[in-house]
DNA sequence: CCCTTTTGAATAATCGTTAACCCTGAAACA
DNA sequence: TGTTTCAGGGTTAACGATTATTCAAAAGGG
């Protein structure tokens, strides 16, 4: 039903190629013809059929964005940044979330490849032992950039935050604030969480503290696991006077538990989160957190990908680690 | 580089069509041929080229999702629901946000049409006087569903919440809780905000209260405008003892202002939000709010759209209003 | 006036699949 | 024996663009 180049060409008694050239501003076309084509195109309300163009140019101007879940503010923010960064280049983003399910992730990657996306941005949940999907991506020579979660043993571009530094910054801050029994609500069994904990450990050691295993509680990445983790910590004696939480939601859950226990925040227990998620400054006790430059992750990943798509010869993988920044708020504002 | 049906056909000395038929489970093919094709396809790691298929079938199995901004939890949630609902049907979603800019919205819609999406889901920011974009969509006969924000004068399918009921529910709840000076922090100058306010007004009138114009403050939809709006309200005498806020972020901002003023929540001022956004139950004073069935909006819109795409003959537009539900939490839990 | 350039546009050949028809040989039926 | 029927496939022509090549006419040059 919508007009095609053929319609324009027929009406004007020129060839389709001529129309195509005018519309792309390419090739030698007389001013007269150009104007007639343009006019007729406007009259017919012509819109390029991108599917047809993609078939021959092998470019869809579409990139796939694969996220564990995009209701999570962190990933939502990244999605926004990616979309805004690529739009000026004429790209669109096909988004998909796989709910932390590696198999679903793999099948979605294949699906996006079949749709001929020009590139992929992935916050992957694949175990380092299951990298077949990525082999398939590489065979196709579809550029891709990993974000947030690096994968050991995969030579791929990556944009993320320095998780080790997050743990270090948070812990050093708590030490500077005079805490001497610093606990850690760590995240799930993935690399990022391990790195943050390692940063915490190093900072503790450097500060002259001995790490108590009672002070480290494992959990997930939601506020409920933060809440439960904190309840567990509240049973430990002596009570910790500072907690570094895996991320902001966990910290928010932890703060709830602390309040419910009748303890004062930050006087009795100081809390540091990570992520600088929206609303973390609007809580009853605004949360001190480590900003991971969420927005920049999206922007940089997108720019990196676009650059790779643009260049013919494959550039060598590039790793970008964004240095985190401490954002001090009330949850650690105690007499130092 | 990736294998095509031709590669398989050549290797097996059959025609491309035969391969195509096998891969689609269509037509009469002997069991032997079928198996050989399937085997070779697997060997070559064959993946359908959806662009090519789309060109001839005129189906991309892609829908466009247009949102004002998807870092907002409300829209992020909808996006998730939409994506999950359409995935089982083989659809993918191309997402785009237009930052509340009607012109950008229009150009994105055109852009998505050019990409031959099978359908559109839009939370539009178009003024009722600028509906040319939608005329273009209708001309193409691309099915679309409006969400969240209805547009007067547009015969289109719509899924949203009953905003009038939201205002009513919230206000009646405050009245039931014994508030007698109920203020309203209203949203921006759009229809939804007006409807919520109308619900508030009606409920007030029905409860026998006279609406004071001082008690209604206009604002935006972010927490900062809630904060400032509330500061304005705090200067009014007599002080309100209950506030119905346009949405949860506004309510969160308002609660911050109330706390800063040294007032007790909910004893001095009770607060009701709307949206039941994540984290609204994890605040220092968990927020009483009106649940708009965010997830259901996404699911229903997606199902409606898929149904429209599936049916040849255009079904008549369908409007779905989801009844909101009160979620009572601490921010209004006072002696009734 | 003939030859070379330049200009402007047409032709032909894809791109990877699918839709609509057509063909062939063997079994079934009369 | 002649006619159907049907299984199992092949042929041809799109789909709506782009790229590469070719070509005719006008323009320039000696």
Model pTM? Answer: 0.91
The C-alpha atoms of residue A155 and residue A140 are separated, in whole angstroms, by: 15
Beta strands at B289-291 and B325-327: parallel, antiparallel or unpaired: antiparallel
CB contact under 8 A, B114 and A52: no
Helix (H/G/I), strand (E/B), else coil: A183: strand
Q: Are residues B97 and B241 in the same domain?
A: no
Output the distance from A10 CA to D28 C1' rounded to whole Å.
Answer: 34
**Digit-coded pLDDT (tens) for B242-270:** 999 999 989 999 998 998 899 998 999 99
Q: Does residue A38 carry a pLDDT above 70?
A: yes
Return the closest-CA partner of residue B158 out of B192, B110, B190: B192
Judge whether A53 lies within some domain.
no
Instruction: Please check whether residues B193 and B288 belong to one and the same domain.
Output: yes
Overall average pLDDT of the A57-79 stretch:
93
Q: Is the dihedral of CA B48, B52, B55, B56 positive or negative?
A: negative
| B173 and B288 part of one domain | yes
Structure tokens given for B197: 């306010």
- The 10s digit of each residue's pLDDT in A232-243 is 999 999 999 999
pLDDT at B282 > cutoff 70: no
8 A C-beta contact, residue B219 and residue B186: yes
CA dihedral sign, ordered B233, B236, B242, B244: negative
In angstroms, what separates the C-alpha of A14 from chain B's closest C-alpha?
23
Q: Structurally, how many domains does chain B consist of?
A: 3
Is the C-beta atom of A59 closer than 7 angstroms to strand D?
A: no
A271: which chain B residues are within 8 Å (Cβ-Cβ)? none
Are B135 and B233 found together in one domain? no
Q: Is the peptide bond before A103 cis (omega within 30 degrees of 0)?
A: no
Is residue A261 in a domain? yes
Instruction: Write the DSSP assignment of B307-319 as a string of letters.
Output: HHHH-SSPPPP-E
Residue B193 backbone phi and psi in degrees, to 5: -60, -40
Residue A102 near residue A127 (C-beta atoms within 8 A): yes
In-domain check, residue B53? no
Residue B110 within any structural domain of the chain: yes
B73 vs A69: CB contact, 8 Å cut-off? no
Q: Which domain holds residue B21?
A: 5-48
Q: Are residues B254 and B203 in the same domain?
A: yes
Could you report the per-residue pLDDT of A299-313, keeping only the tens digit for each?
Answer: 999 999 999 998 877
Please indicate, yes or no, whether residues A212 and A237 belong to a single structural domain of this protein.
yes
Q: pLDDT tens-digit profile of B112-144? A: 999 999 999 999 999 889 999 999 999 999 999
- Identify whether residues A192 and A287 lie together within a single domain: yes
User: Closest approach of chain B CAs to the CA of A49, in angstroms?
Assistant: 5
- Residue A102 domain-assigned? yes
Considering the domain architecture, whether residues B304 and B288 belong to the same structural domain is answered as: no
**CATH value at residue A125:** 3.40.50.2300
Q: List the structure tokens of A31.
A: 């001013």
- For B289, residues 6+ apart whose C-beta sits below 8 A from its C-beta are B248, B251, B272, B273, B274, B275, B276, B277, B280, B327, B329
For residues B290 and B166, the answer to whether their CB atoms sit within 8 Å is yes
A–B CB contacts, 8 A cutoff, strictly below: 135
The verdict on whether omega for the bond into residue B279 sits within 30 degrees of 0, i.e. cis, is: no
């Amino acid at each position: 039903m919508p007009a095609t180049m053929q319609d324009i060409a027929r009406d004007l008694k020129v060839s389709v190629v001529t129309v195509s050239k005018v519309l792309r501003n390419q090739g030698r076309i007389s001013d007269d013809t150009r104007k007639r084509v343009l006019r007729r195109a406007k009259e017919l309300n012509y819109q390029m059929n991108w599917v047809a163009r993609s078939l021959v140019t092998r470019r869809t101007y579409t990139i796939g964005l694969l996220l564990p879940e995009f209701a999570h503010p962190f990933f939502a923010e990244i999605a926004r940044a990616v979309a805004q960064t690529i739009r000026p280049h004429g790209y669109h983003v096909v988004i998909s979330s796989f709910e932390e399910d590696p198999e679903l992730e793999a099948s979605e990657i294949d699906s996006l490849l079949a749709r001929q996306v020009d590139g992929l941005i992935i916050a992957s949940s694949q175990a380092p032992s299951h990298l077949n999907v990525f082999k398939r991506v590489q065979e196709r020579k579809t550029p891709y950039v990993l974000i947030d979660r690096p994968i050991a043993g995969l030579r791929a571009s990556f944009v993320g935050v320095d998780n080790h530094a997050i743990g270090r910054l948070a812990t050093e801050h708590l030490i500077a604030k005079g805490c001497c029994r610093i606990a850690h609500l760590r995240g799930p069994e993935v690399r990022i969480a391990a790195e943050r904990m390692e940063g915490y450990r190093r900072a503790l050691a450097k500060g002259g503290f001995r790490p108590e295993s009672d002070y480290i509680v494992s959990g997930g990445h939601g506020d409920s696991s933060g809440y439960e983790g904190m309840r567990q910590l509240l049973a430990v004696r002596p009570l910790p006077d500072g907690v570094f939480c895996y991320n902001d939601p966990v910290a928010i859950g932890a703060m709830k538990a602390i309040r419910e226990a009748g303890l004062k925040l930050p006087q009795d227990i100081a809390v540091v989160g990570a992520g600088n998620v929206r609303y973390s400054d609007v809580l009853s006790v605004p949360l001190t957190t480590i900003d991971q430059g969420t927005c920049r992750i999206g922007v940089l990943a997108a720019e990196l990908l676009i650059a790779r798509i643009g260049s013919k010869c494959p550039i060598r993988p590039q790793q970008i680690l964004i240095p985190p920044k401490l954002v001090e708020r009330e949850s650690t504002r105690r007499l130092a």
